[in-house]
Amino acid sequence: GAEQASLLSFFKGP
Amino acid sequence: MFEARLVQGSLLKKVLESIKDLVTDANFDCSNNGFALQAMDSSHVSLVALLLRSDGFEHYRCDRNMTMGMNLSNMSKMLKCAGNEDIITMKADDTGDVVTFMFESPDQDKISDFELKLMDIDSEHLGIPDTEYAATVKMPSSEFMRICRDLSSIGDTVTISVSKDGVKFSTTGDIGQANITCRQNTSVDKEEQTIIELQEPVTLTFALRYLNSFTKATPLAPTVQLQMSKELPVVVQYLIADMGYVRYYLAPKIED
């Protein structure tokens, strides 16, 4: 099945 | 000193309703630019970004940049005490341990003030890169809300496919499956139009639970804009007339 991606893997953290 | 007066106070009530299901505690950033927020849900799957520009307020004063941490459920409790026709003013002094919401009835015959305790919140402010999206869909916000609601009674996820012919929303669940296609339609009133701008066709799958939360912003704008690129978070944007926006980002489901 498809896995839910995290936003943290797309956007730069602090 | 921070002070912002909004004659159309109902707008702030609606803004809060559009974010409080997604985020529990959030930092509002007050600057000369305006009243802003960026916050992720606790599972780091979605993010909401809000901007109410200073020039959209009838009066706006922000002597120095301030961060005001608020529990959104408590903020909502207070704003629900404002009438829909009330003028709302937010005030905080530089010590910043409380924010005051003042509500004035349209006839000025009832003045209320509610003081909310501020809190220290550790927040992760993410850098969101500027992206050229492969597909942009503009459609009536009520239609998008209806589709998300209808499909969530069938399945948990929605696959959104944008092609030049239209935008297709599909779901599958235990009881069966459903497909809804909205074709580009520019022949009707502007607010009823579906407009597709396409660099290349794109298909992505998302959890409907989050999209349904995003549609809490529907009362803020007649149209919603979806921006998608392959294997990137979708951007769901509601423009608040003359003021700014509520923008949501949602990470896709990715095949193993």
Residue B43 has pLDDT above 80, yes or no: yes
Chain A CB contacts of B44 under 8 Å are 6-8
**CA gap B138, B18 in Å, rounded:** 19
Note which residues in 124-143 of chain B have CB less than 8 A from chain A. Answer: 124-129
Q: What is the pLDDT of residue B86?
A: 98
B126 compared with B11, residue with greater pLDDT: B11
Asked if B232's CB is within 8 angstroms of A6's CB, the reply is no
Residue A14 has pLDDT above 70, yes or no: no
- Asked if residue B68 lies in contact with residue B28, where contact means CB atoms within 8 angstroms, the answer is yes
Residue A13 has pLDDT above 80, yes or no: no
- Asked if residue B27 lies in contact with residue B121, where contact means CB atoms within 8 angstroms, the answer is yes
Q: What pLDDT digit, counting tens, does each position of B58-97 carry?
A: 999 999 999 999 999 999 999 999 999 999 999 999 887 9
**CA gap A1, B113 in Å, rounded:** 52
- Asked if residue B8 lies in contact with residue B52, where contact means CB atoms within 8 angstroms, the answer is no
Residues 6+ positions from B8 with CB-CB distance below 8 Å? none
Asked if B126's CB is within 8 angstroms of A12's CB, the reply is yes
Q: What is the pLDDT of residue B181?
A: 98
Cα atoms in the Cβ-side hemisphere of radius 13 Å centred on B161: 8
Q: What pLDDT digit, counting tens, does each position of B165-216 carry?
A: 899 999 999 999 999 999 999 888 989 999 999 999 999 999 999 999 999 9
Q: What is the pLDDT of residue B144?
A: 98
Residue B233 has pLDDT above 70, yes or no: yes
Q: What pLDDT digit, counting tens, does each position of B98-111 carry?
A: 999 999 999 999 99
**CA gap B9, B27 in Å, rounded:** 20
End-to-end CA distance of chain A, in Å? Answer: 31
B94 shares contact with chain A (CB less than 8 Å): no
**CA gap B99, B109 in Å, rounded:** 23
Q: What pLDDT digit, counting tens, does each position of B219-232 carry?
A: 999 999 999 999 99
Asked if B254's CB is within 8 angstroms of A7's CB, the reply is no
Q: How big is the CA angle at B68 (ends B63 and B72), to the nearest 5 degrees?
A: 145
Q: What is the pLDDT of residue B123?
A: 80
Asked if B124's CB is within 8 angstroms of A13's CB, the reply is yes
Residue B256 has pLDDT above 80, yes or no: no
